[in-house]
Amino acid sequence: MHHPITITDYLRDTTLVSTLLIAAGAIVLYLMACRKTNVVSKWPYVKVAVIYALTIGAVLLVYPVYFTLFGPGHINGVPNSPQDLAALHADLLGPFLPGGYPWLTSTHFEMVAIERLTSSAPMYLGVPLVVVLAAIVVWLRRCPIVLLMGAMLAIAFILSLGSRLYIYGNDTKIPLPFIILAHLPFFDGLLAVRFSLFTALFGAGLLTIGLDECYRRLKDGHALGQSSPFWRKLTATCVPLVVVAVIAIPLIPGAPQPATASDVPPFFTSASLNSIPSGSVVLTYPYPNAISEYEGFGAFAHPFVNTIDTALLAQSVSGMRFKLIGGYGWRPRPDKEAYGTPTASPLKPASVEAFFDTSFYGIATDAQLDLLSKSDLTSDTRQFLRTYHVETVIVFALGKHPTIVVNHMTAAIGPPVRSGGVTVWFHVQRRLAKLAR
């Protein structure tokens, strides 16, 4: 795959479709609640609001939506199959049991999150927040906006549970409403647990209304008898703050998200980069790709997750100067199947990618061992470089055996240049032409 980035049909699996669905549900509920009132009288406001919304939405979204659906590299279908998405199910206990990030979590809850609630982390709200939201709905049940937001919160939560109800990781086999969406065109690529975004959104709205009403009533003095204005205002300020503090405690992260500097070799920001012809093809070790080949090796693959795509970061830092063989990003399948794939196209001879991958991970699948044992790797490498018009080869000092790759490439196309933390072979096609004489 030469293109550095491919565009996918993300419209089917992003916030846009789920937002439209939730908005439609809210409108239906509103119209049902107002069926006995004069909705026509509100049409002037609705008309103005719709015109503004459509105008702004069109300006911001028409081109991105067009590019997503019809641009180069778009997927004719959904990126993930419904079967794969169904495996990422949420859990009824997701809002109550923390995963590994909150401050108050324990080793037990971390293990529960890993073993039973793997996909439920976005659902977590904490017990205090759930209790407060329920109390607000009961307390202000005569307020129409509270009832509407409470109903939408419940709808979003039920949709986030997926097609079947799971409790503590156990499949109850009870079907849920999302099972209908999972079989409808255009909605079949939605990941159910992402509806938890709207659970949190409507929950935040309810909390805001409840705290505001609490402050107003305490400040007006109806709940504090004959207290002085000072004490009423102080109490009205402190009570909501205490409620917020109690709600926030279970949500405090255990540690800040770590941030590290981009570990890109200096070569990609130096003048030496100009030796790579603009727009030319580069082959790198590690071979950038999804790590699905090594999922069965579990922990062996995990340490390499952050380094396997170093070449993609280097390509970005270079200002997208070159095209890159391999890559990680959703794109159409070569066989025109309905679903996309994050895996780069298999290029032939396949022994080149297999050699790069086994050198990087230090392990190999049976299929890779069999392939490499039957291959003339030097001949295959030269054929690969000619077929895909590779102009530059770059080896990063990463993985288990980068030296083996350097030695092999040197034997295949001649001595390299060591520059800015990488080993580079420039003018590959010129080298191959000399070897062919």
DSSP letters of 187-217? TTT--GGGGHHHHHHHHHHHHHHHHHHHHHH
**What whole-number distance in Å separates Cα of residue 399 and Cα of residue 401?**
6
Which of 193, 175, 210, 205 lies closest to 26 in space, CA to CA? 205
Alpha-carbon torsion (388, 390, 395, 396), positive or negative: negative
Of 401, 386, 297, 300, which Cα lies nearest the Cα of 349? Answer: 386
322 vs 288: CA distance, rounded Å: 14
pLDDT attached to residue 274: 94
Regarding whether 85 and 102 lie in a shared domain, the answer is yes
Question: Residues 33, 92: one domain?
Answer: no
Residues 245 and 278 in one domain: no
Taking the C-alpha atoms of residue 375 and residue 212, their distance in angstroms, rounded to an integer, is 72
How much is the pLDDT for 108? 64
Angle among Cα 172, 177, 182 to the nearest 5 degrees reads: 95
Q: How confident is the model at residue 19, as a pLDDT?
A: 87
Place of tokens 């986030």: 160
CB crowding 189-202: b at 16 or more within 10 Å, else e: bbbbbbbbbbbbbb
Provide the pLDDT for residue 31: 82
Place of tokens 């009132």: 37
How does pLDDT run along the chain (437 residues), one tens digit per residue?
Answer: 333 333 334 444 467 788 888 999 998 888 888 777 766 777 888 889 889 988 998 898 888 878 877 777 666 666 666 677 777 788 898 898 876 566 666 666 666 666 677 778 888 898 999 999 999 999 999 998 999 999 999 999 999 998 899 998 888 999 999 988 887 776 777 888 889 999 999 999 999 999 999 998 888 866 666 677 788 888 888 999 999 999 988 888 766 666 667 778 999 999 999 999 999 999 999 998 875 444 444 434 444 444 577 899 899 999 999 999 988 776 666 665 556 677 778 899 999 999 998 999 888 888 999 999 999 999 999 999 999 999 999 999 988 999 999 999 999 999 999 999 999 999 999 999 999 87
How far is it, in rounded angstroms, from Cα 382 to Cα 86?
Answer: 44
* Rounded-to-integer distance, Cα 364 and Cα 368, Å: 6
Q: Which domain holds residue 187?
A: 81-258
- 5 lies in some domain: no
Examine residue 227 and state whether it is found in any structural domain, yes or no: yes
Q: CB of 287 within 8 A of CB of 343?
A: no
- Considering the domain boundaries, does residue 1 fall inside one? no
Q: Is residue 6 part of a domain?
A: no
Quick one: pLDDT at residue 333? Answer: 67
Q: Is residue 428 in a domain?
A: yes
Give domain status of residue 2, yes or no. no
Question: Do 47 and 155 sit in the same domain of this protein?
Answer: no
CA-to-CA distance for 321 and 408, rounded, in angstroms? 26
Residue where one domain finishes, among candidates 258, 291, 319: 258
Domains in the chain, number? 3
Are 243 and 327 in the same domain? Answer: no
Residue 4 placed within a domain: no
Judge whether 118 lies within some domain: yes
Domain boundary among 258, 283, 317: 258
Please give the backbone phi and psi of residue 152, each rounded to the nearest 5 degrees, phi first: -70, -35
In Å, what is the CA distance from 60 to each residue of 3, 56, 66, 298? 26, 6, 11, 42
CB 330 within 8 A of CB 75: yes
Query: Contact 336/321 with Cβ under 8 angstroms?
Result: no
Phi, psi of 419 (to 5 degrees): -145, 130
pLDDT of residue 14: 64
Among candidate residues 57, 79, 101, the one where a domain is terminated: 79
87 and 71 within one domain: no
Q: In the 8-state DSSP scheme, what is residue 11? A: G
Looking at residue 6, its pLDDT comes to: 35
Which single residue is written with the structure tokens 């072979």? 425
Are 414 and 280 found together in one domain?
Answer: yes
Here the tokens at position 105 are 């979590």
pTM for the model stands at 0.68
DSSP H helices in 71-195: 82-86, 107-115, 127-139, 144-160, 178-181
Does one domain contain both 231 and 271?
Answer: no
Instruction: Report which DSSP code applies to 321.
Output: -
Q: Are residues 182 and 314 in the same domain?
A: no
- Structure token pair of residue 200: 């949190």
Phi-psi region of 45 (alpha: psi -120 to 50; beta: other; left: phi over 0): alpha
Q: What pLDDT is attached to residue 182?
A: 81
Strands (E), 219-341: 281-285, 323-324
**Are 224 and 333 part of one and the same domain?**
no
Q: Computed from CA positions of residues 278, 280, 284, 290, in that sequence, does the dihedral angle turn out positive or negative?
A: positive
| Rounded-to-10 torsion of CA 345, 351, 355, 357 | 20
pLDDT at 418: 95
**In this structure, are 98 and 199 located in the same domain?**
yes
State the Cα–Cα distance between residues 338 and 336, nearest whole angstrom: 6
Q: At a CB cut-off of 8 Å and minimum separation 6, what does 372 contact? A: 351, 354, 355, 358, 364
Query: Does residue 240 sit in the same domain as residue 313?
Result: no
